[in-house]
């Protein structure tokens, strides 16, 4: 997938935000090979699309780079830490994750939803949020152009507004890596267009932020996405992945 990048060119020798070397994943119960021979690097400021049919391994790969599981073989380095040699709880706290399946209490205000990104919880832990944290949540709502929704219940916000709020929540940890797991799922066309615009603005405003977006539809990708990783599951063709810039 070709595209125009909104970020400066990154030097090849610069440390990768994410690096996988000869990674494979096998399901222990059935010995099914889910991923095989994955070599992939994501550098600061790069925006990637993760593509592939259902069953190709996209969810498994996203779980690997989100520090939610370990590979069967190979090495996975995320934000300078190697899985198996680091406390994954601390590592997960440094990775932004946006998914349409995120559980959010519908009565929470947009500001409260963003605050839960600081504590990594579903419900707010009010005693853990000092004035600086609360101000940061407001600043992120402003950055995502939804500051007027700060006191509005999440449940009455539009699909596009909810997506922007969830991105702001994911940014509370000031991550270098943002993972978007089918963020357009269940959104109507205006909301999808709104989310594309939000991600475009975010890429322009945060030139060092790296993103990986899982999607089935290329038209949902924002203009800064200039790289793609295509996964192909088991079948009569050679097994992936293929990368392109």
CATH code for the domain in which residue 215 is found: 3.40.50.300
Give the ranges where 88-206 is alpha helix by DSSP (H): 88-92, 110-119, 131-143, 159-170, 189-205
Same domain, 18 and 69: yes
Res 174: pLDDT: 92
**Percent of the chain predicted with pLDDT > 70:** 89
Same domain (yes/no): 72, 184 = yes
| End position of a domain, from candidates 174, 189, 224 | 174
Residues 180 and 164 in one domain: no
Phi, psi at residue 89, to the nearest 5°?
A: -65, -40
Give yes or no: residues 149 and 67 share one domain: no
Low pLDDT (below 50) residues in the chain: 1-11, 234-240
- 108-150 pLDDT, tens digit each: 999 999 999 999 999 999 999 999 999 999 999 999 999 999 9
Who contacts 14 (Cβ-Cβ below 8 Å, separation ≥6)? 43, 44
pTM of the model: 0.85
pLDDT computed for residue 184 by the predictor: 85
Domain count, the chain: 2
How far are the Cα atoms of 30, 74, 157 from residue 201, in angstroms, in the given order? 44, 36, 20
Residues 52 and 74 in one domain: yes
In a shared domain, residues 62 and 182 = yes
Other CB atoms within 10 A of residue 74 CB: 19
Q: What is the pLDDT of residue 14?
A: 66
pLDDT at 102: 85
> Are 30 and 145 found together in one domain?
no
241 and 132, same domain (yes or no): no
Side-chain half-sphere CA neighbours of 194 within 13 A: 17
For 32, the domain range is 1-6+13-94+175-245
- Which of 122, 140, 174 is the C-terminal boundary of a domain? 174
């Amino acid at each position: 997938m070709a595209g125009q990048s909104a970020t400066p060119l990154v030097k090849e020798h610069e440390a990768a935000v994410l690096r996988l070397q000869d990674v494979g994943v096998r399901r222990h119960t059935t010995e099914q090979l889910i991923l095989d021979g994955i070599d992939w690097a994501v550098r600061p400021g790069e925006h990637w699309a993760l593509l592939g049919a259902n069953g190709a391994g996209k969810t498994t790969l996203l779980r690997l780079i989100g520090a939610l599981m370990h590979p069967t073989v190979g090495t996975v380095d995320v934000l300078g830490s190697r899985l198996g040699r680091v406390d994954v709880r601390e590592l997960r706290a440094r990775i932004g994750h946006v998914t349409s399946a995120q559980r959010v209490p519908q009565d929470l205000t947009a500001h409260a939803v963003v605050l839960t990104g600081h504590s990594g919880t579903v419900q707010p832990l009010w005693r853990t949020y000092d004035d600086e944290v609360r101000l940061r949540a407001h600043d992120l709502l402003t950055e995502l152009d939804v500051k007027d929704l700060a006191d509005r219940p999440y449940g009455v916000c539009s699909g596009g507004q909810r997506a922007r709020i969830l991105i702001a929540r994911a940014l509370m940890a000031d991550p270098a890596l943002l993972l978007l797991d089918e963020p357009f799922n269940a959104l109507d066309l205006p909301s999808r267009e709104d989310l594309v615009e939000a991600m475009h603005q975010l890429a322009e405003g945060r030139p060092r932020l790296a993103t990986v977006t899982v999607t089935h539809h290329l038209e949902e990708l924002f203009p800064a996405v200039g790289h793609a990783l295509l996964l192909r599951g088991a079948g009569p063709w050679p097994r992936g992945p293929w990368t392109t810039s």
